[in-house]
Amino acid sequence: MTPALPHAPGRAWGWSAALLMLVVASFWSLDLQWAQFFSLDAARSMGRFIGEFFPPDLSPEFLRKVALGMGETLAMSALGTLLAAIGGLALALPASRLHGAERAWARRPTRALLNVLRAVPELVWAGLLLIAAGLGPFAGTLALAVHTTGVLGRLFAEAVENAPSGPGAALRTQGVGKGRVFVYATLPQVLPQLLSYTLYRWENNIRAAAVLGVVGAGGLGQLLAFHMGLFHMGKTATVLGAMLGLVALVDALSHLSRRWLMR
């Protein structure tokens, strides 16, 4: 005979009931067109849609355009991440308490700013920055940089605060100024960690940069939105293939290098 399951505490039941209500309310309030989606009509239009993808446009000049788009995506992600690393470091200093006695009056406001930068997704930043920077990869680069500054600033601040305080204290008691204490005592200790956070975000940003262009911010996404909008389905298929290939390549490289480093 199977034993009864361990008695679940009342609070868990409360949470489960609330969750269930949320799910039911969500499905009930959205007018989801399941009937239309699972109809024969939708299946036929889906089939036609996929059928139009073939044959993908593999003409040399278009392939060159896609390769350029891919390079643009990579450049956007690299430059955006680099700018974000610089910005994140600049904001991490006021956002962290470097030693126990410091007042750190800027800590809370800077952290609030970082939270706002981080809460707004790259794509929304891109939409906003298009107004100032115009269509093209520059707006995308800035959008990646702004969002990632929020993410990295927060992570950098945590790393700086958790660094061992001995070397910094030794310099401070000798009367060395704040900036030099950071550069010569704190930074060398946290640099490997900052670098690994930055590389991790770069990986994320390549993925983000690939789709960022659908609002007009350059890279493969812009090609995708352009050709999809004009119903060039063969070209759309090529761009989609390049996008998925890029994402898969980044995933595979990150997986392999992680395994290699963990060995």
Output b/e per residue, 82-115; b: 16+ Cβ within 10 A: ebbbebbbebbbbbbebeeeeeeeebeebbebbe
Q: Does 45 interact with other proteins (rule: CB under 8 A)?
A: yes
Selected binder of other proteins within 56, 65, 78, 107 (CB under 8 A): 78
Distance CA 221, CA 236 (A): 10
Token pair 């992680």 is at which residue? 258
Q: How far is the CB of 15 from other proteins (least distance, A)?
A: 6
Distance CA 99, CA 90 (A): 18
Which residues are CB-contacts of 92 (< 8 A; sequence separation ≥ 6)?
152, 153, 156, 157, 159, 160
Q: Does 25 interact with other proteins (rule: CB under 8 A)?
A: yes
User: 136 burial class (0-12, 13-18, 19+ CB within 10 angstroms)?
Assistant: middle
Query: Looking only at residues 1 through 20 of this chain, which bind other proteins when binding is defined by CB under 8 A?
Result: 2, 6, 11-12, 15
Selected binder of other proteins within 195, 248, 253, 256 (CB under 8 A): 248
Which residues are CB-contacts of 138 (< 8 A; sequence separation ≥ 6)?
218
Selected binder of other proteins within 87, 140, 150, 153 (CB under 8 A): 140
**153, 87 in Cβ contact below 8 A?**
yes
Q: How far is the CB of 139 from other proteins (least distance, A)?
A: 9
Selected binder of other proteins within 224, 235, 237, 242 (CB under 8 A): 224
Selected binder of other proteins within 17, 67, 86, 116 (CB under 8 A): 116
Selected binder of other proteins within 56, 104, 138, 189 (CB under 8 A): 138
Q: Which residues are at the interface with other proteins (CB under 8 A)?
A: 2, 6, 11-12, 15, 22-23, 25-27, 29-34, 36-37, 42, 45-46, 49, 71-72, 75-76, 78-79, 82, 115-116, 119-121, 123-124, 127-128, 130-134, 136-138, 140-141, 207, 210-211, 214-215, 218, 221, 224-225, 228, 240, 243-244, 247-248, 251
